[in-house]
Structure 1
Amino acid sequence: MAAVDVNKFATHLRTHAFRHSGRICAKKVREALEAAGGDTTGHLGDAKTWGTTLLRMGFRELPVEDPDRYKPLKGDVVVIQPYEGGNPSGHIAAFDGKNWISDFIQRDFWSGEGYRKKKPPYVFYRP
């Protein structure tokens, strides 16, 4: 299994980000992983289901108890589960060394007010 090149991953995310959400976070993160040498074969769709694929690709799950104290590194990925009234697909984003990016450059890893307020379950992954 080839490792993901975190520099290529981050660059692809940054250079292909929209100004605002296009509601295609999983597609954009998948494309960036593939551009960086990741094998996403067999992954089906929704952002909320990416954990298993990331583990298969060599990422490891990070135990984060307090997200305010977590210090992301370039290449880290967050998979967030859906919340009631929000997008049923959940959300996925990656850290480019400066910002969290999905299909747009986010303010933080939550990606929006609904996630920030509801704080649904999430998992961080590191390559």
Structure 2
Amino acid sequence: MTYPDGEVVTYHNNTAGHPVDAKDYNNFLKIRGWQVVSTSQNFRPQKGDIAVFRDFQGDKRYHSAGHIQMFNGDRWISDFRQNGFWVGGDYRRHHPSFVILRFGRKE
């Protein structure tokens, strides 16, 4: 993937057969060696962590595709440089279910 700041993310993953919707990347990534990371009290994201959000009903629309984002060591990014973990107003207000995945580390 290429992001607006020019960062290219590869992480040695074959993306053939990738899901269409962001919400479906959870199992797709697990099969390829990504592990779920606990988001308990002392969670600190690490460069390369991926957050996969479920679909949910927002204030005015249903977010059917969910959302996926990656931590670049400084901030969360998706198809743009985000201002924080919660990508938009509906996400900040509703806190939809999500999972954090990290490549090759089991917790």
Distance 1:82 1:65 in 2: 22
Q: Say if 2:94 is the partner of 1:103.
A: no
3-state DSSP of counterpart to 2:74: coil
Identity of aligned residues (%): 32
**Runs of 4+, deviation exceeding 4 Å:** none
* Alpha-carbon distance between aligned partners in 1 of 2:16 and 2:39, rounded to the nearest angstrom: 28
Using the size of structure 1 for normalisation, the TM-score is: 0.69
Higher strand share: 2
What is the SS of the residue equivalent to 1:89?
coil
Deviation at 1:53?
1.2
Aligned residue pairs, count: 99
Corresponding residue for residue 87 of structure 1: 63
Distance in 2 separating the partners of 1:44 and 1:77: 15
1:62-109 deviation line (CA, Å, top 9, x unaligned): 12145xx42100000000112212421000000000010000011122
| Cα distance between partner residues in 2 of 1:104 and 1:44 | 20
- Residue among 50, 71, 77 paired with 1:77: 50
In structure 1, list runs of 5 or more residues that go unmatched: 1-8, 17-31
Where structure 2 has 5 or more consecutive residues not aligned to the other structure, the ranges are none
Alpha-carbon offset, residue 36 of structure 1: 3.9
Structure 1 counterpart of 2:34: 59
Query: In the alignment, which of 74, 98, 107 is matched to residue 122 of structure 1?
Result: 98
CA contact (8 A) 1:86 1:114 kept: no
Q: CA deviation at 1:110?
A: 1.7
Provide TM-score, normalisation by structure 2: 0.81
Contact 1:83 1:115 survives alignment (8 Å) = no
Q: Alpha carbon RMSD of aligned pairs, Å?
A: 1.9
